Amino acid sequence: RTLGGMDTSATPTHCPYCALQCGMNLTPVAGGGVVEVSERVDFPVNRGALCGKGRTAPALLSRAVRLTRPLVRRSGVLEPAGWDEALDRVAEGLSRTRSRYGPDACGVFGGGGLTNEKAYALGKFARVVLGTSQIDYNGRFCMSSAAAGGIKAFGLDRGLPFPLEDIPATGCVVLVGSNLAETMPPALRYLTELRENGGRLIVVDPRRTRTAEQADLHLAPRPGTDLALALGLLHLVVAEGRTDEAYIAERTSGWEAARAAAMAHWPEYVERITGVSVPQLREAVRMFCEPESAMVLTARGPEQHSKGTDTVGAWINLCLATGRPGRPRSGYGCLTGQGNGQGGREHGQKADQLPGYRKLDDPAARRHVAEVWGVDPDSLPGPGRSAYELLDAMGTDIRSLLLMASNPVVSAPRAAHVEERLRSLDFLAVADVVLSETAELADVVLPVTQWAEESGTTTNLEGRVLLRRRAVAPPEGVRSDLYVLHELADRLGVEKGFPTDPEEVFEELRRASAGGPADYSGITYRRLAEENGVFWPCPAEAPEAADAPAGPHPRATGPRATAPGTTGPQAEGPATTGPRAAGPGGGGAWDGAEPASDVLPEGSPERRAGPEDAGAGTAGVPSHPGTPRLFLDRFATPDGRARFVAVNHRPLAEEPDDEYPVLLTTGRVVAQYQSGAQTRRVDELNAAAPGPFVELHPRLAGRLGVAEGDPLAVVSRRGRAVAPARITASIRPDTVFMPFHWPGEGRANTLTNPALDPTSRMPEFKACAVRVERADPQ
Ligand code: SF4
């Protein structure tokens, strides 16, 4: 169909926001740059359903909310500029810092919203062009504890090691610290179907959320005690003789030490720590152990803590002791949050990772990736600082920062301090779609393309690699992040190796990931278009070439593949500030072709893909079907066994005291997304959720003499936030809740604690000690 010469046929693509990556169709309408959303029922994850954020996402494409010209700071004011001037300024800023202080004084900060191609190119840019070890991204604040816990136990981190469709078919789901009704509403149907099928739902959350209201059993522990709760449950599993001894003997190691640790956590002791009664603990154990299949799913509630890795380990222990992981419709999974939170951690923008989810300090991994990049492995820097440590070093060790797709002024812990650190930089460049609160502080702002204006891949919370297609032309004056990196590399002396065509970047990513834990080498744009996504690991070769399917591959419902054949397990451990291995990188002979356009043109393989192309590797050789389900035969550890971890309860980094007697926990509301930089610019979403609030129990409100809507000041050791009171009995009396989507005086992250998990380097977002009082009249 055409309208005034414009192609108006629907383009199937995916939502720009969360990790569910719902499928949607976009259709251009008259006026250019405007699209309509319609149902895309062929995508199995959401079957056409969208939340309000996805439904209104086209509003993000409006010129009214966008940056459409580069901005440079002149005499303290951001003013419009041409692309050449802006890029020159960025290259000069980074180059000056590198010459004066060395490459590690240049920082790079990425985001979990970047496509796989952009995350890959950004990591390569940092290490090859700048030669800096100082790169990390905002996903560190999201799922890093679950990733570290998964790697420790299973040797591999993929958010969900099974597709979402397994959820309704299991016997019991324990949902720990996830409010799906607000964060990804279309996923709620999996829980509804679970219960319709006779399965049981246990929700663990200090608040009686809309998700908790659907549960058969709601456990409301004190914030920060999920570790003790899991240990108490495991104690009862052992005491009641509900362990799966054959599974423990055949498929695990380390049980005795983990068992001993759990047995030290008596139910009565756990009740005192958590506030969850012993009868409730016993009921939870019964519901979890009686069915043949069961699973534990965690999210940010238990993970965003200075003991997040151990907490995840304790929940995995519970699963292992009862013989769940690697069994049908069973196991442990993490519900990743950001749109490309999964892919964003696999391709090299994380401080300690190389593409393919390889470890940066693994000599074999360095050799493999360096060969793809055409550089000397010794020229690659070592691991750098984690996200908060990097932000905290700005203005001291880090003098210049290139930031893409992140808004730490709102989303980082101890945010006022982070804002101050950003202001102290010698030079800050931000590439973003909108003028975020962080972009407002920049010396140069680069306006970039977004989801519907460009093609690229993301990897959703199931490990399903997806193709986002270009549906509409970007506004004049806007360029892609890949173009930015290409131009900056060129200005900094690296003329090749940074193509602007996403498919060309993906082809290199495939080679760089080959043989790694997250192996994408068998995935092509053509396959993604035809198969509606492919689960990694997907090596280039089929497992058994003679038996492999040659046609379109089975999707989530297809035959199960076995454990991934990786070339070495992932190692756990913190990002370190270790020394760089060698010199500044840069230069080198590149294999890549000359840059092409930054979007897929009509007639590209992605658009041409037809059944005859699908599922076939080169020369018609059958390709790997992808791996919807992991660990069925063995885990990705050297001996193939899952590892128990011996962990013990420990208190919060900051317990309440006389001065700060209440706990603050933070979270999300359905109409806003992360730092709100995008969703606060969408009228319908703003009307639904116009600002922050403080949720508190009627008893606490009574003690404070506070009525609904009264302005409340919440004060922690790091600052003060003000927002109206919202009084509800759905929260514990010892806890208040604030959503974190807003800047200014209601910024919840002004209050949060940057105490870090020793392994994952996750800050303690989810609990800190505060004082609550009526706000002074302004
Ligand atoms: Fe789906 Fe998440 Fe987008 Fe909502 S925000 S439509 S749940 S992908």
- Kindly report the protein residue whose alpha carbon is nearest to atom 6 of ligand 1: 54
Check if 255 has its Cβ closer than 6 Å to any atom of ligand 1. no
SS3 447: strand
Residue 54 alpha carbon, nearest atom of ligand 1: 6
pLDDT along the chain (778 residues), means of 10: 54 95 90 79 94 94 91 97 98 98 98 96 98 96 94 96 97 97 95 97 97 97 97 98 98 98 98 98 98 97 96 98 97 94 92 95 97 97 97 98 97 98 98 97 97 95 96 93 98 96 98 96 96 95 54 34 40 38 26 28 33 40 88 97 97 97 96 93 95 98 96 98 98 96 97 97 97 82
- Kindly report the protein residue whose alpha carbon is nearest to atom 4 of ligand 1: 51
Q: Is residue 356 part of a domain?
A: yes
Q: Is residue 164 part of a domain?
A: yes
Check if 50 has its Cβ closer than 6 Å to any atom of ligand 1. yes
Of 334, 352, 377, the last residue of a domain is 334
The pLDDT, as a whole number, for residue 398 is 98
Check if 466 has its Cβ closer than 6 Å to any atom of ligand 1. no
Same domain, yes or no: 695 and 708: yes
Q: How far apart are CA 438 and CA 229, in angstroms?
A: 38
- CATH code of the domain containing 358: 3.40.50.740
Q: Is residue 574 part of a domain?
A: no
Check if 15 has its Cβ closer than 6 Å to any atom of ligand 1. yes
Q: Measured in angstroms, how far is the CA atom of residue 673 from the centroid of ligand 1? A: 10
Same domain, yes or no: 377 and 478: yes
Same domain, yes or no: 172 and 240: yes
Q: Is residue 22 part of a domain?
A: no
Mutate-to-test residue for ligand 1 from 21, 22, 26, 684, highest number of ligand atoms within 8 A of CB: 22
Note down the domain range covering 555: 71-141+343-532+539-562+587-616
pLDDT by residue (tens digit) across 339-386? 899 999 999 999 999 999 999 999 999 999 999 999 999 999 999 999
Q: Measured in angstroms, how far is the CA atom of residue 57 from the centroid of ligand 1? A: 9
Check if 276 has its Cβ closer than 6 Å to any atom of ligand 1. no
Of 302, 334, 366, the last residue of a domain is 334
Q: Is residue 692 part of a domain?
A: yes
Same domain, yes or no: 348 and 284: no
CA angle 524, 530, 532 (to 5 degrees): 90
* DSSP secondary structure string for all residues of 626-643: --SS--SS--SSTTS-EE
Q: Is residue 569 part of a domain?
A: no
Size (the chain), residues: 778
- Kindly report the protein residue whose alpha carbon is nearest to atom 1 of ligand 1: 22
Strand-pairing partners, residue 106, are 400
- CATH code of the domain containing 304: 3.40.228.10
Q: How far apart are CA 291 and CA 660, in angstroms?
A: 44
Alpha-helical runs (H) found in 200-307: 226-239, 245-251, 255-263, 267-274, 278-289, 300-303
* DSSP secondary structure string for all residues of 578-611: PPPSSS--------PPPP--SSPPTTSHHHH--T
- Chain centroid, CA 593 distance in Å: 31
Q: Is residue 28 part of a domain?
A: no
Contact (Cβ atoms closer than 8 angstroms) between residue 109 and residue 138: yes
The pLDDT, as a whole number, for residue 603 is 34
Same domain, yes or no: 518 and 592: yes
Same domain, yes or no: 168 and 305: yes
Q: How far apart are CA 305 and CA 78, in angstroms?
A: 37
Q: Measured in angstroms, how far is the CA atom of residue 608 from the centroid of ligand 1? A: 28
Same domain, yes or no: 151 and 136: no
Amino acid letter, 531? E
The pLDDT, as a whole number, for residue 379 is 96
The pLDDT, as a whole number, for residue 573 is 42
- Kindly report the protein residue whose alpha carbon is nearest to atom 2 of ligand 1: 18
Q: How far apart are CA 425 and CA 395, in angstroms?
A: 5
Of 296, 311, 334, the last residue of a domain is 334
Cα→Cα distances 689→685, 744, 745, Å? 6, 16, 16
Same domain, yes or no: 128 and 206: no
Check if 186 has its Cβ closer than 6 Å to any atom of ligand 1. yes
Element (H, E) at 95: helix 83-101
| Cβ neighbour number for residue 776 with a 10 Å cutoff | 8
Residue 52 alpha carbon, nearest atom of ligand 1: 4
Same domain, yes or no: 507 and 600: yes
DSSP letter assigned to residue 508: H
pLDDT by residue (tens digit) across 114-125? 999 999 999 999
Same domain, yes or no: 349 and 489: yes
Same domain, yes or no: 319 and 360: no
Q: Are strands 200-204 and 172-176 parallel, antiparallel or unpaired?
A: parallel
Q: Which residues contact 291 (CB under 8 A, 6 or more apart)?
A: 170, 171, 172, 199, 200
- CATH code of the domain containing 740: 2.40.40.20
The pLDDT, as a whole number, for residue 7 is 52
Check if 322 has its Cβ closer than 6 Å to any atom of ligand 1. no
Q: Is residue 56 part of a domain?
A: no
Check if 338 has its Cβ closer than 6 Å to any atom of ligand 1. no
Same domain, yes or no: 129 and 151: no
Task: Give the sign of the dihedral formed by CA 419, CA 421, CA 426, CA 430.
Answer: negative
Q: How far apart are CA 225 and CA 228, in angstroms?
A: 5
Q: Which residue has the tokens 């790091």?
A: 718
Check if 337 has its Cβ closer than 6 Å to any atom of ligand 1. no
Q: Which residues contact 653 (CB under 8 A, 6 or more apart)?
A: 306, 753, 755, 764, 768
Task: Give the sign of the dihedral formed by CA 359, CA 20, CA 114, CA 756.
Answer: negative
Q: Measured in angstroms, how far is the CA atom of residue 270 from the centroid of ligand 1? A: 36
Residue 15 alpha carbon, nearest atom of ligand 1: 3
Contact (Cβ atoms closer than 8 angstroms) between residue 383 and residue 352: yes
Check if 54 has its Cβ closer than 6 Å to any atom of ligand 1. yes
pTM: 0.90
Instruction: Work out how many domains the chain is built from and give that number.
Output: 3
Q: How far apart are CA 698 and CA 156, in angstroms?
A: 45
